[in-house]
Amino acid sequence: MFGRRSWAKAAVAAVAAATMMLSACGGREATETDPGGEATAGGFETGSLIGVSLPQKTSENWVLAESLFNDGLTEAGYEADVQFANSGASEQQNQIQSMITKGAKVIIVGAVDGSQLGAQVQQAKDAGITVIAYDRLLLNTAAVDYYVAFDPYKVGELQGQALLDGLAERKGEAPYNIELIAGSPDDANTANFFNGAMSVLQPKIDDGTLEIPSGQVAMDQVATQGWKAENVQRRMDTILSGNYSGDTTLDGVLSPNDTLARAALTSAASAGADTPVVTGQDSEVESVKSILAGEQYMTIYKDTRELVNQSIAMVDALQTGAEPEINDTESYDNGAKVVPAYNLEPVVVTEANAREVYADDPILQSELG
């Protein structure tokens, strides 16, 4: 159930790499156009509209992506239309339809619910628009052209291993009592995060190294609708009051992101429990502070600047008529096709390496003192 996905990863050589080099500030190489300003064969006009539809503002990284896309696309010479779907999938459907009507040449989609946008991205495809799935895979549609993300399955693997490392470091000898948290069931990344982590943790559950006193191990038991912290805190409060007393202590929590990690820590503190080893993801400022204070054990650094820059690099390639760079042609079967992808490398951050990892991040570096 929790084994490594069956698709083998394949590195693919870069195509037309010179057209895709993008600086941190979002600049790009000049492109060849005819005297009327039109793009070369196969591309599209300079100054074209690029649509970016992002989900709810559930993490700092989504908020940062908005400003990076606005600045990066504008500096690269495009007209940017960047929107959030804070009211959910129906709002995102309307946003994409509006971008199609406005004549966008590329639409970048960070999906609220990757299974609810098939009709809209098909309309985009029919209109000759390229669709790039950003961070979250679009599901059950052949109309998505590319996917750019920090490898979500690997993120889960790193979290699972970090939980084991943290338990050995902070909680003495096994067995350890842990609880599991997964993300929102409508997020295509949730299963990858969870299954990646469980590929590491399940053997340790099977051999008795890890125990789960609540018995909650199935996805439908541990998922967190909407990635909402209050849902995790409520669930963890119930778990702690019903399963932990006397000598039964909570040693660790698998959490898929920083917001939910802090909710789990809050619940443990409210119950008077010792601080458990808790995983996270996204390098949110409050969680970085918590890690440096010896509370949250780890997070995953996924530099949003890299993710946005790679997305704009794909747009640059498409504008010139070139194929965007990809490095994974086998891993992301969305139910209708295997989507060509560009994977970036996630980085584990603990108290031991935080200053080194964040040395070049202007926001997080300022928090390190």
Is the separation of the CB atoms in 252 and 277 below 8 Å? yes
Distance (Å) of CA 369 to CA 233, 288, 362: 30, 12, 12
Based on C-alpha coordinates, what's the Rg of the chain? 21
Same domain, 164 and 92: no
Same domain, 330 and 280: no
Give the pLDDT confidence score for residue 369 in this predicted structure: 66
Same domain, 212 and 338: no
Same domain, 273 and 313: no
**Domain with 274 in it: what CATH number?**
3.40.50.2300
Residue 4 within a domain: no
Give the pLDDT confidence score for residue 18 in this predicted structure: 34
Q: From first to last of its 369 residues, what are the pLDDT tens digits of the chain?
A: 443 343 333 333 333 333 333 333 333 333 344 333 344 457 999 999 999 999 988 778 899 999 999 999 999 999 999 999 998 999 999 999 999 999 999 999 999 999 999 999 999 999 999 999 999 999 999 999 999 999 999 999 999 999 999 999 999 999 999 999 999 999 989 999 999 999 999 999 999 999 999 999 999 999 999 999 999 999 999 999 999 998 999 999 999 999 999 999 999 999 999 999 999 999 999 999 999 999 999 999 999 999 999 999 999 999 999 999 999 999 999 999 999 999 999 999 999 999 999 998 888 887 776
Angstrom distance (rounded) from CA 53 to CA 150:
18
Q: Could you list the residue range(s) of the whole structural domain that residue 177 is in?
A: 152-301
Same domain, 323 and 288: no
Last residue of a domain, one of 243, 268, 301: 301
Residue 353 within a domain: no
What total number of domains does the chain contain? Answer: 2
Residue 109 within a domain: yes
Give the pLDDT confidence score for residue 57 in this predicted structure: 86
Q: Which residues pair with 341 in a beta bridge?
A: 147, 328
